[in-house]
Amino acid sequence: PATVEFAGLYQQIYQKTPKFLEAISYDNAMILFSTAGDETVDSRAALKDALKNNRIFNGATGHTFFDQDGRARRPLFLITVKRGRFVEISR
């Protein structure tokens, strides 16, 4: 749902379909803004700790969370092409 919403709004504003770079850039900015906007975040160290605090961010590219080392983690998914369209493979 978040992907469809992002793509629709992007299409409406820019009259073109967003690519992966636009989606991942949007997600990264939203992760940063939403975390930095937390009233407990008042320094770079607090921002880093807040990101690593097991928050799950639901964005245009799916769910993202940060592990204890500060690396972004996203669930992998597989896609295939059916009738000329990308389709996610169900598990």
**Three-state SS at 58:** strand
Q: Is the pTM of this model over 0.95?
A: no
Region 67-87 average pLDDT: 85
pLDDT band at 53 (very low <50, low <70, confident <90, very high): confident
Region 46-60 average pLDDT: 88
Residue 37 vs residues 7, 33, 72, 73, 86: alpha-carbon distances, Å:
25, 6, 19, 22, 35
